[in-house]
Chain A
Amino acid sequence: VEVSIVGRGYGECVLVHLGWGDWLIVDCCLAEPEPPTPYPPLYLERMGIPFEEVRWLLASHWHDDHVAGFGALTQLCNTATVYMSEALRSQEFASLAQAEIEEPPGRIGSGIREMRQTLKELKESRRTVEQARADQRLFLDEVDGLTREIWALSPSNAASLRSKRAFVQEALPMAAARRRVRAPDPNEASVALHVRVGDVVVLLGADLQNEKSADRGWKAVLGSQGRPRERASLFKLAHHGADNGDHPDVWVEMLEEEPVVALTPYGAGPRPRPDDADVARICSYTSEAYIAGPRRVKLPKASSPVEKVRRKAVRSAAVSERPLGHVRCRRSTSASGWTVDLDGTAERLCSPKSAEPSGGDPHRL
């Protein structure tokens, strides 16, 4: 089993090999912004893996840091079954994506352009789109006596309904006003996954957050009677390790003790994630935490006059994009621990508690 978590400060994707040449790709991010080059096909090519081995593609939610390049990915992996969050596979989202509203020219776009291209590609190639929602098994089989399954743990019905309403009532008017479209809370409709190959269980948290209401977010997942009960030994932390994506009961009820944890940094926003408090919290749960990219990047030096104006007009500034980082975790179904390899700017998040961590020291790819 291989799980790759890739990030670049503004962009995230996850590649999972369930063994026997079956790959799942969750979301997409770019290796390079210009020209826009999706990362997953580059990695597959580098590893000599034909695109036909990608059996499932999933758009966990609609945020442009998770869907950049997804349209091109669906074209390249043209035999894969495409899954989307129930909120996205809806008439409401199609209205938004199909709107003949040209986004203003320039480099700033939104996930809507990407999703429009994806839906167009899917329709032209006569492919179906499956929906993913809470407590739904997306895949089940048995190979060599090992059960393989993929479960969607979210979004809940309540989260999907709220998102669909927001697409029509809030996002579409924004598009009509020729502003950059952004749905208010797409994270609550994102798809967290439970992937199992034999005894190896992986929890992929997407950007699922804690919501006030018990019928959405992690509270809904924890309260569900229909979700699988096996605990995961590897966790892709939700929402870039932010406290609002972390529910303490997840560590108790859904994860093994001292799990391997991987996350991607998020450079945008008033508080780039994970911040120091996030790191302290994560490292209190496990010492086996890895991050796909540096937490902080220095602002590039500008000329002295530019700095002078910025000091006066700008209260704070941070680089939102970072060089790409890749955390690769591998485990044989008969082995007891994960082997972690780091590539690019990926690094260990916590100092190890013992001289010999459970999965061994990470290697550079």
Chain B
Amino acid sequence: MPQTAYLQKNGGSATEVRQGNERPSVPMSQANGSGGTGPSPGNDSLDTSSVDPDRWSVARRPRVRAPEAVAFRRLEQREGVVLDIDEREGVFRARLVDPRADEPDQEVEVEIEQVSPSDLDLLAPGALFFWAIGYVTGRTGRRSLVLQLDFRRLPRLGRAQEEKARLAGARYAKEMNWT
């Protein structure tokens, strides 16, 4: 169950909404055990030694959970590659390919704001992504229509492998008498 206990000031007493087995709350004026006068003189730190843990509680803000999807019904699926980015216009251009090759390839200009913030650093020419349009059903059963762009996080090759490629190229060119 979500924790939704909170305090409301009401003339020294609190109206408490508790759920589950939460600790009872204490009016804020008694919370530091010093009669509501703040920290003891000469001691800048908060003295909590006299607080009875069983009587101690803090006001908790309601915890808001992101509605988690429980189902995604896909209506359109494509593989995409970023061709270029126009930050001034706030769009990126991409080529969309139907993985089943039933539909012809398309080139689209997509609003950059459709890319989730966590994927923005992956948005670069040549980046590959999955494109899906469909209905997402949340925990509450609410259904919404969305475009999902999932950028592929592929392991980058190291400098050693790049160097290996250079050497392989040199070897090939030599074997083919290109040099």
Contact = CB atoms under 8 A, between A and B. Distances in A.
Interface string A284-325: 000000000000010110110110111011111111111000
Contacts of B166: 95, 168, 172
B97 A108 contact: yes
A123 B172 contact: yes
**Which of B89, B98, B104, B162: most chain A Cβ within 10 A?**
B104
A306 B125 contact: no
Interface string A164-193: 000010001111111111100000000000
Contacts of A312: 147
Nearest to A317: B108
A270 to B, nearest CB: 6
14 contacts: A90-B178, A91-B178, A99-B165, A104-B128, A107-B99, A108-B128, A172-B165, A179-B127, A180-B126, A268-B95, A268-B105, A305-B145, A310-B147, A320-B105
Interface stretch (B10-18, B44-52, B152-160): B152-160
B165 A100 contact: yes
B146 A179 contact: no
Interface string A100-141: 110010111000000000010011000011000000000000
A269 B106 CA distance: 10
Given A178-B156, A268-B95, A309 B146 contact: yes
A300 B81 contact: no
Given A128-B177, A176-B157, A313-B110, A106 B128 contact: yes
Contacts of A318: 106-108
Contacts of A357: none
B109 interface: yes
A305 B156 contact: no
A269 B91 CA distance: 14
A108 B95 contact: yes
B150 interface: no
Contacts of B109: 270, 314-317
A125 to B, nearest CB: 12
Interface in A315-358: 315-322
Interface in B77-93: 79-81, 83, 89, 91, 93
A175 B76 CA distance: 28
Given A90-B178, A128-B176, A180-B81, A174 B108 contact: no
Nearest to B135: A305
B101 interface: yes
A306 B161 contact: no
A10 interface: yes
A175 B98 CA distance: 23
B133 to A, nearest CB: 5
Nearest to B152: A104
A177 B173 CA distance: 24
Nearest to B170: A91
B165 A95 contact: yes
* Centre residue among A89, A119, A168, A178 by max chain B CB count within 10 A: A178
B179 interface: yes
A109 B80 CA distance: 11
A92 interface: yes
Contacts of A267: 107
A179 B126 contact: yes
A10 B106 CA distance: 10
A108 B83 CA distance: 12
Contacts of B103: 300
Given A99-B165, A315-B110, 15 more contacts: A94-B169, A98-B169, A98-B171, A99-B162, A100-B165, A106-B79, A123-B176, A129-B178, A180-B126, A182-B125, A297-B104, A310-B147, A313-B147, A314-B108, A320-B104
Interface string A139-151: 0000000000000
B133 A305 contact: yes
Contacts of A315: 89, 91, 108-111
B124 A96 contact: no
B162 A176 contact: yes
Given A176-B162, A309-B145, A313-B111, A104 B168 contact: no
Give the one of B79, B91, B126, B145 with max A CB within 10 A.
B126
A255 B146 CA distance: 54
A276 interface: no
Given A101-B161, A178-B155, A319 B111 contact: no
A320 B95 contact: yes
Interface in A179-227: 179-182
Which of A104, A123, A306, A314 counts the most B-chain CB atoms under 10 A from its CB?
Answer: A314
B68 interface: no
Sorted nearest first, the 5 A-B pairs with minimum C-beta distance are A95-B169, A179-B126, A99-B165, A178-B154, A91-B173
